[in-house]
Amino acid sequence: MGEKKDQMPFTRENYLLMLGGIALLVIGYLVMSADKTEFGFGFMGLTFGPILVFLAFMVPFVAIFFNKKKSKNQRDEMAMKKEAEKTNR
C-alpha cells in the first residue's frame, strides 16, 4: 500500500494565503458596491473591483499549490528516516 505521511498536506503559510484570498474577495466586493456612480458604472464598479475579485479567486489556487522549499539538511534527514524505515522492515 502507500506510505504513511507524518506531515499535514498544508502548512501555516497555505492557510494564511487562503485567508488572504478570502479577505481580498470581501474587499473586492466592497469596492464594487462602494461605487457612487449610477448603477455602479464607474471605474471602481466596472474595472478595479472586478480585478480585485478575479485576483481573490486566483489566490486560493496559489495557496493550494504553494510548497515551501525544504533546506538541504531537512531533505537529508527525511532521506535518512526513509532508509531507516526500510531497513527495519
* 4 has a pLDDT exceeding 80: no
The secondary structure element, H or E, covering residue 66 is none
Alpha-carbon distance values, 54 to 28, 33, 39, 60 (Å): 9, 16, 21, 11
Does the pLDDT at position 30 exceed 60? yes
Domain boundaries, the chain: 12-88
Does the structure show a pLDDT above 90 at 85? no
- Looking at the whole model, is its pTM more than 0.75? no
Would you give the DSSP letter of residue 19?
H
Residue 67: per-residue pLDDT: 82
Rounded to the nearest 10°, the torsion over CA 35, 41, 44, 45 is: 80
Tell me the three cell numbers of residue 12: 501555516
Residue with cell 472586478: 50
Q: For 37-72, what is each residue's pLDDT tens digit? A: 888 889 999 999 999 999 999 999 998 888 877 666
Between 84 and 31, whose confidence is greater? 31
